[in-house]
Amino acid sequence: MTVGIDPHKRVHVAVAVDADGRRQTADGRRQTKPLTVKNDANLIGVLLKWIHTIADGIPVTWAIQDGRGFACRLADGLLLTGHEVVWVPTRLMSAHRKLHAATGSKSDPVDAAAVAHAAIATPGLDRHRIDDRIDDRVRELRVLVASRADLGRRRTMVINQIKAYTHLWLDHTPGDLTRRPGMTSLTALVDTTDMSAHVRRMLTEMITEIGELNKHVRGLEATIHELVTPLAPALLKITGISHVSAAVLLAEIGDITRFTSSAKLARYTGAAPIPVYSSDKEHYRLHRGGNRRLNSVLSTTSIVQQRSHPGAQALLARHEPIKGARGVRRILKRHLIDVIHRAMAKDRASWQHHVTHTPARCLTQKRQRPTASVLSQGHRLVPLEQRRAPGRRSGLQQPAPENPRVANPGRSVHPAATIAPTNQRCNDRLNPSSTAAGPSPTLAAKPASPSP
C-alpha cells in the first residue's frame, strides 16, 4: 500500500492507494474523503493510527511531494518509526495528476493521489534518510553560501542602478564597483561634479550601500575560506575551483556518497546530454534542467581550464574538429564531473572523525517493539520475520509467518515497499563492523586518472 501526502505549512493531506491505484478505506471501499492532519506535534501519531485502520499489517510506503521544507519533520518521524519514505518530484506528481484526474482539476486530495500514483509507477524514487552523515561544517556552509548569494544579488542590482544613473546624469560609466579602485574613482567623480543636491544625495547613498555590501561579502568569503580549506583539500586542487565554488559544491551536494557514480552526479547537475531523436537516428542535446547552481560552477570552471590548463586545452583540441566549439565545452564539463566526483569522494573519507553515524532504519532491519505511547495511539508494527519470504537469508529455511494476512501470496505489495536483502546500504547498516574499517573499497580502489 502507498500513502501519498501533499505537504503544506499548516496541514498535510494524505490519501491511501493500493497497488492497483484505488483509494482505500477500512472497509475496503473506495475512499471519498482523504485525511487532513495538522502539522503539529501529534502529526505522526494521527497518521499511524489512521493507516493502521486501513493497512492492518500490510507494508506501507509513504510518498511525499518533494517539499522538504514543510515535510522534513514528517519524513523524519515516519522514518524513525520504521517506515519507508520516498520523495516524489513535483514535475512527476504533475504528470500523474494530468493522467489520473479530470482535465484542469487541482486540489490537495488530487495532488496527494497523484503523488501515490507516481510512487507506484516509479519504484526507483529517492528514499528519505536522516541527513546525519553530513559534517556540521557543511550545514554551516549552506547558510553562508545562501547568505552570500543573497548579498551578491542585492549588490548586482544596486550596481546596475547606479551605472544607469551615472550614465544619465554624469555621462560616465564606472568600472568594477566590487573593488576599491572603482569605488574610489566614482566617489571622487560624484563629489567634484556639479549636479542637483537630490541626485548627489541619492548617488552617495547608493555608493555607501555598495561599500557596505562589499564589506559583508568579503567577510563571508573569509569565513567560507576558513571552513572549506580543511573540508575539501582535493577539490581545491582542481584548476578553476575557488573556495566559494567549492563551498557551493559542498552545500548543494552534501554527502557525495549519495551519488554512487559520477554519471548520476552528471544527471543531477544537468551536465549529461539527453536523447532527442526518432526513427533510429540518434541525436543528443544539452540538458537544460538539473541543479543550475552546480551547473554554473561547472561552466565557470570549464572556462578557466579552457584558458589556462594544458590538459583541458588538449582535450578540447582533440574533440573540436568533430564536436564543434559548443560540443567540446560540454565534453569538458562532463569530464569535470568525473574529476569532481573523485575529489569529493576522497575528501569525504576524511570527514569520518567529524561525523557521528546514526543511520536511518532500513526495511531489512528488525524493527524495535513500539513504546507504550505509540501503542496507545493505535500503531502496530508487524515483525519483520512475518514480512520476509522464508529462506531469503543465508539459504536457511525460516518458519512460516503466523499472520495469515501477511502470508497471503495473492495480496499485492508495492514494489518500492520491499528492498532485497542484498542491498549494499542495508548490509552495511546491519553489519556496522564492515564500514568501521574505512571508506568504501570501490572509491579507495578507483585509480586516479590524469585530470584537468
Res 127: pLDDT: 82
Asked if residue 443 belongs to a domain, the reply is: no
> For the chain, what percentages of helix, strand and coil (3-state, to nearest 5) are there?
55, 5, 35
Last-in-domain residue among 200, 231, 262: 231
289 and 210 in a common domain? no
368 and 300 in a common domain? no
197 and 265 in a common domain? no
Last-in-domain residue among 335, 356, 377: 356
Distance CA 165, CA 203 (A): 8
- The number of domains in the chain is 3
Res 134: pLDDT: 62
- Residue 191 φ/ψ, nearest 5 degrees: -70, -30
The residue ranges of the chain whose pLDDT is under 50 are: 353-452
Res 163: pLDDT: 94
C-beta separation of 413 from 19 below 8 A: yes
Asked if residue 451 belongs to a domain, the reply is: no
Asked if residue 309 belongs to a domain, the reply is: yes
Question: What amino acid is encoded at 330 in this protein?
Answer: R
118 and 22 in a common domain? yes
Looking up residue 383, the CATH number of its domain turns out to be: 3.30.420
381 and 345 in a common domain? no
Distance CA 113, CA 3 (A): 8
Element (H, E) at 110: helix 108-121
Distance CA 331, CA 315 (A): 9
Res 71: pLDDT: 84
Last-in-domain residue among 231, 264, 280: 231
263 and 227 in a common domain? no
377 and 293 in a common domain? no
Res 221: pLDDT: 94
313 and 363 in a common domain? no
220 and 288 in a common domain? no
Lookup: cell for 248: 557551493
Cβ-Cβ contacts under 8 Å for 437 (sequence gap 6 or more): none
Domain encompassing residue 254:
236-356
Res 305: pLDDT: 93
3-state secondary structure of 87: strand
Asked if residue 440 belongs to a domain, the reply is: no
Res 1: pLDDT: 86
Cα dihedral: 55, 405, 59, 433 (round 10): 150
219 and 181 in a common domain? yes
